Amino acid sequence: MPSHGLGRSRVATHIMGRRKTVSITAYLATALLAAIAAFAVAAPVSADETPTCRGPLSASEQAFVQSVQSDLTARFPHAEDALKAGYVRYTSPDDTGAISYANRQWTSDPTHPSQLWYDKDGNLMGADFSVPRPNSESRPQLWGIDPCRWFEFNGHVHYVIRVPVTHKMVYDQWIWNSDFVAAGGSLTDPSPDTVVKMGRVPSSDYISTIFEFPTIWDLIVWVKPHAPNQLFW
């Protein structure tokens, strides 16, 4: 039976995940894309802390999930709605088919998730709500959700590649915060130049989007009905 709820099997790629005769220009673009694939593919990052409990939702958790489902399906039913609201795409489809969009605002409230995710046809699947964790803060106690439900992710910098000439988009690229800073980068104002310096792309014009994904507590909420095996609990 399909179900709604919190948590998803896509958590590893919730953060990151997935890529005759031609003109010389097209050939060079293809070669550059191949080079990027060789050194820019990042392995998925798993949650640094996972939920410590599983099981049925409490009454307050059910109320929160139902409120979120009703609100988000009304305001953000399609990926175009997320883009209009300032969310940016940064992943390919993960193992559940979800494509993630982030608004780069990491202090959520029940009506402002930090991330929304959509299927390949642009239909809303779910959302992530986050709370920054800069100083090892304890699990959040918010919105009637048991603190045991939250994931924790360590900080990293995401970037999206747009190959000049072909305009090929390459998602799921990231660098640990510590490595980015060690290369001279700024977390408050990440620059494509740092990605170039680290040898990830040939030049800064390959970067279409770049942002810090700070260390956060993260709550995952499914909006679309889904198979029970996609639940963590």
Greater pLDDT, 224 or 91: 91
The C-alpha atoms of residue 164 and residue 193 are separated, in whole angstroms, by 16
pTM of the predicted model, to two decimals? Answer: 0.83
Sign of CA dihedral 43, 19, 211, 202: positive
Residue range 48-77: mean pLDDT, rounded: 92
Q: What is the pLDDT of residue 190?
A: 98
- Name the residue among 212, 49, 28 with its Cα closest to residue 140: 49
Residue range 48-73: mean pLDDT, rounded: 91
Q: What is the pLDDT of residue 24?
A: 26
Tell me the pLDDT tens digit for each residue of 40-59: 555 555 568 899 988 888 99
